[in-house]
Structure 1
Amino acid sequence: MLIEDETGNHLKKINNNNNNIRISSAFLHSRFAIAIIYQRKINLRSVLSYIRVWFALLSSSVLSGWKMEHKRWVLLLAIFACLLFFSRGRVAVLKWETDDDSPVYNHTLALTLVEYTSAVYMSDLTELFTWTCERCNGLTKGFQVIEIIVDIEHCLQGYVGVAKDLNAIVIAFRGTQEHSIQNWVSDLFWKQLDLNYPDMPDAMVHHGFYSAYHNTTVRPAVLGAVKRAKKFYGENIKIMVTGHSMGGAMAAFCGLDLVVNEGYEDVQVMTFGQPRIGNAAFASYYSLLVPNTFRITHDRDIVPHLPPFFYLFPQKTYHHFPTEVWVRDLSILKIVRIGIEKVCDNTGEDPTCCRSVMGSSISDHLTYFGVELMGETWRQCSIVMGEEVESYSRRDSKGNIFLSWTDPSVEVTEMNTLSTIGVSSM
């Protein structure tokens, strides 16, 4: 039997005698353990080979002379190694051939942005503003918040800041919080394509999704914060926009707005569990204008399946824009759960990705890469803000809250840049 190490090379040939099996298995243990500890990625084939070999060893007649105690320790060691490898955030990436100029999916960046997306759900604005919340660590350590926006009227929240390690401005939007997730998902079934996207012939989007970003206090606050960051950190700094669920829809509209209306070029969008937001014509425009976009979907997450896609009426129905990255959960012996990432095709509706399964899970919607994407409580838009950050805050005439590093002594005039389209449908 041939075993391959983490580089894909043949590791050791196991012969049918006791000594060789013991030597080979010990060598396999050590090499695999080293790979687990010191490398972030391991060839999936070597992992599966490792598991298959150990089952063959444990069941072979050659090992019949081993003491039961030795077998037990071997099995425990094998399980421990697998559990260590497939701990939080571990996935195997299935790579497909793409055009040379196509954006490349970055797994490590996805792990980072999902943490930024998780943090935006925090209701303690003091901890969020100072980046000391329980979710403000790990891969996001050292992040500098520039602005927090809380739209009390529509129960929306987002922030803008700078991640120096990414050389990027990060914009994150919170998902739905006003209603229970079950009720919100039920409402998604009936969302209609009822708004022509400005200056895009035949492009239709849903009124509410569009308005959540364009016709609230969110847009002017975000654009103002981005301009301040660009002025301070330089025009060459990138922009990354992220969000989960409804926040993913807002992130998509924000990314498009930054490119089309603000003229920014280096814009990347990565969303998690995002619903469909427009028709095929809109998806086509979007993919051309914001090509560096990845929609992460998790196994049987119900939200990416909504509003429904009707295969027989592709021009009259909702249609996702590319590129989807489907994280499929696989179970090994009902002990270890791993994620297999598949970078899908450029249609936006790859039938071999999340559309290949029945989207029925709310729990899959609330966890991505082992990270919780939900608030402390549902049906509440409550916030907590300490006195130490009051001097950085301001409120508009509707009670919406802004926390900003701008000089609080300078009066900030509300920007009159809200679109008049769709206001009544919020």
Structure 2
Amino acid sequence: MCECRISQAYMAKLLLALAGVPKFLAILLFLCSSGHVSAERSGKLDDGFNYNHTLAQIMVEYASVVYLNDLDSLVAWNCTRCNNLTKGFQLVELIVDLQHCLQAFVGVAEDLHGIVIAFRGTQKNSIQNWMEDLYYRRLDLRYPGVKGAMVHRGFYTAYHNTTLRPRIVTTVLGILESINGLSVYVTGHSMGGALAAFCSLDLVANHGIQNIRTVTFGQPRIGNIVFAEFFNSLVPQTYRMTHEHDMVPHLPPYYSLFPHRSFHHFGREVWIHKVENESQSYDVETVCDGSGEDPTCSRSVAGNSIPDHLCYMGLSLQADTWSPCSFILTNNENMTIETEDGFIIKMPLLLEAQAEVQDPNGPQLF
């Protein structure tokens, strides 16, 4: 196992504003079984890029929370991981697709003055087979509307062709209509990072949402260099966190001799790795060049570690318990569950507005 602020007035205003959003949490089910740190820069940097360590710390906590199978604690936001930098987060929608073993949530964070979207990654008990499959995966789908852009079909369809996309888009648009001036933060680990990337691009390219910030952890490659350049042009405020010898960012393989026929990372990599001297060992966050494939960052070492994949910035990025595509949910007095054709479960979001409120367009930290 790996091993922080909120105002009552702001939350009251938030709850009033959310009254304009459909007053329910929807869990959409498809039948089937769910130390010291320093920063340095490497390579040639693009102008205008600034890495924000604090934002990365906040996002990794959300990427950790979304792994939980105990949906009761997620809805109440009282889980052991629902504290520190995520304390005070207002969950608006939780989506669980059991057919495809997918889980994500959408909510509002006061300290970020923004919407947070988090995607769960691959279950630990299937990760070895998943990575072996990634090694042999080919670019097998043309990305719509971008000549020459090819992507990983499995990751693309996991976001675009499941319950995730319509529920997330509808919820995000509803919140933005109710609360002005919010930024959108998208995060995820492993496969969840791949889904976060497709979601970010979708929100910008197809729904005109601006001011999106994307932070992924241990994310695999999802497209070729044409796709990477397209992504960078639309979602420039993105960084991919990698860790030591984490093997997943090395997959599917990149072949520098055939860049247009090979998978290629987008965005700015930030490589977390240990540096040792005679007296101490400490973590360094190397801000890599803007190519997506900086040879001096994680590509400079062998990608051969699953433990490095499951721990980022001191946090565990895996579920507390492992059973295939399962979850825990009870129907208590605060949680009315309704089914529609056996596929959809809705849970009302109980909003209690308080009398005193402040300006919802409060200070934006990032």
Interval of TM-score (by shorter of Structure 1 and Structure 2):
0.7 to 0.9
Do the aligned residues in 2 keep the contact of 1:150 with 1:402 (CA within 8 Å)?
A: no
Of 133, 149, 153, the match for 2:99 = 153
Paired residue type of 2:227: F
Give the distance between the partners of 2:97 and 2:333, measured in 1 at CA: 18
1:5-59 Cα shifts (integer Å, max 9, x gaps) = xxxxxxxxxxxxxxxxxxxxxxxxxxxxxxxxxxxxxxxxxxxxxxxxxxxxxxx
* TM superposition shift of 1:389: 6.9
1:184 aligns to 2:130 (yes or no): yes
Q: 1:304 to 1:289 in 2, by over 3 A?
A: same
Q: Secondary structure at the match of 2:274?
A: strand
Q: 1:246 to 1:403 in 2, by over 3 A?
A: farther
Q: Secondary structure at the match of 1:170?
A: strand
Paired residue type of 2:187: T
* TM superposition shift of 1:400: 5.1
Q: 1:393 to 1:296 in 2, by over 3 A?
A: farther
1:111 aligns to 2:111 (yes or no): no
Of 173, 184, 194, the match for 1:249 = 194
Structure with higher helix content:
1
1:133 aligns to 2:63 (yes or no): no
Give the distance between the partners of 2:64 and 2:233, measured in 1 at CA: 29
Paired residue type of 1:137: N
What aligned pairs does 1:2-401 form with structure 2 within 5 A after superposition?
86=35, 90-95=36-41, 98-100=45-47, 102-177=48-123, 179-234=125-180, 236-331=181-276, 337-388=281-332, 391=335, 393-397=337-341, 399=343, 401=345
Do the aligned residues in 2 keep the contact of 1:209 with 1:249 (CA within 8 Å)?
A: yes
Give the distance between the partners of 2:194 and 2:72, measured in 1 at CA: 26
* TM superposition shift of 1:232: 2.6
Q: Secondary structure at the match of 1:386?
A: coil
Give the distance between the partners of 1:143 and 1:349, measured in 2 at CA: 34
Give the distance between the partners of 2:172 and 2:324, measured in 1 at CA: 28
Q: 1:274 to 1:152 in 2, by over 3 A?
A: same
Do the aligned residues in 2 keep the contact of 1:147 with 1:402 (CA within 8 Å)?
A: no
Give the distance between the partners of 2:59 and 2:186, measured in 1 at CA: 9
* TM superposition shift of 1:405: 2.6
Q: Secondary structure at the match of 1:365?
A: coil
Q: 1:95 to 1:152 in 2, by over 3 A?
A: same
Do the aligned residues in 1 keep the contact of 2:45 with 2:290 (CA within 8 Å)?
A: no
Give the distance between the partners of 2:165 and 2:91, measured in 1 at CA: 17
Q: 1:230 to 1:356 in 2, by over 3 A?
A: same
Do the aligned residues in 2 keep the contact of 1:121 with 1:373 (CA within 8 Å)?
A: yes
Q: Secondary structure at the match of 1:133?
A: coil
1:254-309 Cα shifts (integer Å, max 9, x gaps) = 00000000100111111000000000110010000111110000010000000000
Give the distance between the partners of 2:261 and 2:189, measured in 1 at CA: 26
Paired residue type of 1:330: V
Do the aligned residues in 1 keep the contact of 2:45 with 2:288 (CA within 8 Å)?
A: no
Please, what TM-score do these two structures have when normalized by structure 1? 0.71
Give the distance between the partners of 1:149 and 1:169, measured in 2 at CA: 16
Do the aligned residues in 2 keep the contact of 1:178 with 1:381 (CA within 8 Å)?
A: no
Paired residue type of 2:331: E
Paired residue type of 1:163: A
Give the distance between the partners of 2:51 and 2:329, measured in 1 at CA: 37
Do the aligned residues in 2 keep the contact of 1:175 with 1:243 (CA within 8 Å)?
A: yes
Give the distance between the partners of 1:272 and 1:247, measured in 2 at CA: 9
Do the aligned residues in 2 keep the contact of 1:126 with 1:389 (CA within 8 Å)?
A: no
Q: Secondary structure at the match of 1:315?
A: helix
- The count of residues paired between Structure 1 and Structure 2 equals 316
Please, what TM-score do these two structures have when normalized by structure 2? 0.82
Name stretches of at least 5 consecutive residues in structure 1 with no aligned partner. 1-85, 408-426
Q: 1:266 to 1:242 in 2, by over 3 A?
A: same
Q: 1:327 to 1:286 in 2, by over 3 A?
A: same
Q: Secondary structure at the match of 2:174?
A: helix
* TM superposition shift of 1:230: 1.2
* TM superposition shift of 1:187: 1.2
Name stretches of at least 5 consecutive residues in structure 2 with no aligned partner. 1-34, 352-366
Q: 1:341 to 1:194 in 2, by over 3 A?
A: same
Q: 1:349 to 1:211 in 2, by over 3 A?
A: same
Give the distance between the partners of 1:251 and 1:352, measured in 2 at CA: 25
Q: Which has the higher contact order (CA 8 A, sep 6+)?
A: 2
1:382-403 Cα shifts (integer Å, max 9, x gaps) = 1111223774545454635454
Q: 1:365 to 1:178 in 2, by over 3 A?
A: closer
- State the partner residue of 1:47: none
Q: Could you tell me the percent identity over the aligned residues?
A: 51
* TM superposition shift of 1:194: 0.7
Q: 1:114 to 1:404 in 2, by over 3 A?
A: farther
Q: Secondary structure at the match of 1:211?
A: helix
